[in-house]
Amino acid sequence: MTEKKRYDFGKGKLDSFQYDNPMLFFSKWYQEAQEQGCADPHALVLSTVNEKGQPSSRVVYMRNLLEEGFIIYTNYLSRKGSEILKNHKVAALFYWDCCERQVRVEGEAEKVDSKLSDEYFAQRPRISQIGAWASEQSSEIDSRASLEERVIHFEKKYPDVVPRPPHWGGYLIKPHYFEFWQGRLGRLHDRLCYIKEGKEWRKSRIAP
C-alpha cells in the first residue's frame, strides 16, 4: 500500500484575538471564505444528541447570519428536529478547506418566528417547496418510486403557490462557545476560544 503524502498547513496564523465579539470574528472569516472561493462556505456539520446520549451529525446550510447566531431550515419532524425538541443543545462545525480554517460552535437551537420561515420558504425553488411536503424526512419509505409519487401528488395539489408546511421551518442556533482554528505547520495549529459568561465573552488560547 502506497503511503499517502502528508499535507501540512501554512496559509495563515492567529497571533491574537481580532475581536471581543466572536460573531464579528466569524463574519470576517465567513466573508473571507467566500472571497477566496471556498466550496459551500455556508455549509456546516450540525450535531444533535438523542435521549440515549447518541450523537448524530449531518451537513446542512446556514441561510442567515444574525447577531444572535445562525439560522438553518429543516423538517421539524426529521431526526434532527425530533432530537432538538428533546435536547436543545447542539454543536456546529464550519470547515473552509481553501483557508485551512475551522470554526467550532456549541450552543442551543430554538425555532424562529413563523413569519421568518414563511418568508424564506417563499423564496425557495418550487421543486424544493414541493419536496418539503413530499418527503417525510428521516422516516422509512418503501422505495424511491413511492417518494416520486408523493411529489406528483403535491405538484397537483399545489399547481400555483405552495404554502409552507407546518412541520417545516427554521432554527436559530445561539452560540455560547466558539473555537477559531487556523491550520499551522507541524500540526501546531492556532486555536482561539470564546466562552460566554453572562453577557460577556471570555477569551482563551488552547493547545493544538
Known catalytic residues are: 187
- The DSSP symbol for 154 reads H
Cell numbers 471556498 correspond to 38
User: What is the number of residues in the chain?
Assistant: 208
Cell numbers 503524502 correspond to 5
Cell of 150: 408523493
Residue pair 88/41 in contact by the 8 Å Cβ criterion: no
Strand partners, 133: none
Residue pair 119/63 in contact by the 8 Å Cβ criterion: no
Cα 177 to chain center, whole Å? 15
Residue pair 11/99 in contact by the 8 Å Cβ criterion: yes
Task: Give the DSSP letter string of 98-154.
Answer: GGTEEEEEEEEEEEPPHHHHHHHHHHS-HHHHHHHHH--TTS--S-HHHHHHHHHHH
191: enclosing H helix or E strand: strand 190-197
